[in-house]
A and B are shown apart, each in its own frame.
Chain A
Amino acid sequence: MRKIKEFIIEKLILICGLASIFFVILIFLFLLKEGLALFKTINPAKFLFGKNWYPISEPGQFGILPLILGSLLVTFGAAIISIPIGVGCAVYIAEVAPLKVKEILKVGIELLAAIPSVVLGFIGMVTLVPWVKNIFHLPTGLTALSGSIMLAFMAMPTIVSIAEDALYSVPKTYKEGALALGATHWQTIYRVMLPAASSGILAAVMLGIGRVIGETMAVMMITGNAALIPHSILQPVRTLTATIAAEMGEAVVGSEHYFALFAVGIVLFVLSFMINVTADLFLHKDKR
């Protein structure tokens, strides 16, 4: 009797172990199921490189190039802000900060990671957006720049915590060796620790960027949502994620518009899949 019970439990455990694979495949299949229907009527090249996103005009135009460029612009801006600050902060926490300060900083970073994106979006709307408007004398503060700044704060916790782990896992002997040769602490960090942790830091940056590309609510609330090809970072843009979030509520199930939004979802899924797999490769490079 006990043997049977244990057999069942162990099979159940195996099934649950496989659940993650199952769910990833299920997500992809359902995105494909709904999204691929679009390409019966729309040419895939026209979808990816079309310059016009007018989903409710007659006939609808579904070119996501402005959305892709919007996502890239916002992500690029966020990366420029968050990478130096995030990596710098990680080095500070891992190497420079005294133990007590370190604990407090780590809690602070964790809390930043926990703030819901809709709250960050709200705060961005009421503080950052008016600032950007006034500083640059723009007709509206809802711009790609505002989005980039807010998203940088979402990327930073990811970058800091993973980069810090990477620095932490550099063998102590490396550091001791460098110090014993007379290098200063900074020289050790700069010449020994950072190169040794480089693949982990790269993974941290990629995962941070992955988080930014996938971010939805804050972006939707502060980038202005104009589906036009952006010419400057001070213009309103619309990202892939915001398009889905903003329009799915009104799209009729089974319409071209509905399928198109799922097709955008496929693009996002594939993007995040590639980023995560690459980052994972970098993370495990050293361990082998």
Chain B
Amino acid sequence: MRNTQRAEKIAFFFLFLATLFIIVPVGLILAIIIQKGLPAINWQFLSDIPRQGMRAGGIFPAIVGTVYLVIGAIIFALPIGLMAAIYLSEYAKDNLLNRMIKLAIVNLAGVPSVVYGLFGLALFVIFFKFGASILSGALTLGIMILPIIITSSREALESVPYSFREVSFSLGASKWQTIRHIVLPNAIPGILTGTILGLGRAAGETAPILFTVAAFYLPQLPHSLFDQAMALPYHLYVISTQVPNVDEKIRYGTALVLLVMVLFMNLVAIVIRYQFRKKKKW
């Protein structure tokens, strides 16, 4: 008896250790970036263009580029993703087609990000002749975040109790009216969570924008959808591997800005989800 209890203690200790092995490095990574990046952050860094071959100045064009890309991606992905989720949760029957759609979503989520980059290059940049542009990059990112939006929106729609729909039907509402006025409003927090997570993912990805939009060094703001643009993650890659002798402060500062952007969006999504679960009455 004592042996089994000792075995349990030892086992649980190792499980705890495994957890520490994940959590402590995460804490360390955040701590290092914050500690070394914070001194670089000031108004000039955030609002100025990069100067002296990116060894001085700020990162404003990269921030703007990322914001444009993320907005573009979501404009493309949200309507399609939401409607796909509505289809899966409200219309699809449990048949082969449904199974294939789900498998396609899983695969879309699993395609390596650099393959999205290739695809964007072949389809948008070359085939549609959009060139390396914000449009190409945003569409590529949009397709990449589609599975995130579909999956979380579908979960949100499916968590609306069936009785809500029955009541609506019994009052004479059509299927679409029920979806539009009953199901969707109740699913909004979940859809929002998915959308924000998608935004965060799009903001942080580098590989899909490498050949579709990213400009190595472009010290001005993009004027149209067909312009190249700088983007934060690519900028971090460039100044940490491609440009020698960049002040460490600038690298850490860029990493910090990117990290804060992405983690902030994720935290917002987590908070919305948490509030929603707490308030849920059914």
Interface set of A (CB-CB < 8 Å, partner B): 2, 6, 9-10, 12-21, 23-24, 26-27, 30-31, 33-34, 84-89, 91-93, 96-97, 105, 107-112, 114-123, 125-127, 153, 156, 160, 184-187, 189-190, 207, 210-211, 213-217, 221, 241, 244-245, 248-249, 253, 261-262, 265, 268-269, 272-273, 275-277, 279-280
Contacts and interface: CB of A to CB of B under 8 A. Distances in A.
Contacts of A190: 11
A277 B103 contact: yes
B174 A6 contact: yes
B22 A30 contact: no
B119 interface: yes
Contacts of A277: 103, 106-107
Contacts of B38: none
30 contacts: A16-B82, A17-B88, A17-B91, A17-B92, A17-B101, A19-B84, A27-B111, A27-B116, A34-B122, A89-B21, A96-B16, A114-B201, A115-B26, A117-B207, A122-B237, A122-B251, A126-B251, A184-B4, A186-B7, A216-B206, A217-B207, A248-B118, A249-B210, A249-B211, A268-B112, A269-B112, A269-B115, A272-B107, A273-B110, A279-B106
A214 B111 contact: yes
Interface residues of B, number: 90
A175 B86 CA distance: 36
Given A186-B7, A221-B240, A262 B18 contact: no
Contact of A115 (B119, B146, B262): B262
Contact of B83 (A17, A30, A261, A273): A17
A257 B79 CA distance: 37
At the interface, is chain A mostly helix, strand, loop or mixed?
helix
B246 to A, nearest CB: 12
Contact of A116 (B21, B122, B259): B259
Given A21-B104, A186-B7, A210 B110 contact: yes
A5 to B, nearest CB: 8
B83 A16 contact: yes
A20 B206 CA distance: 22
A221 B26 CA distance: 19
B105 interface: yes
Residue picked from B14, B30, B201, B237, most chain A C-beta under 10 Å: B237
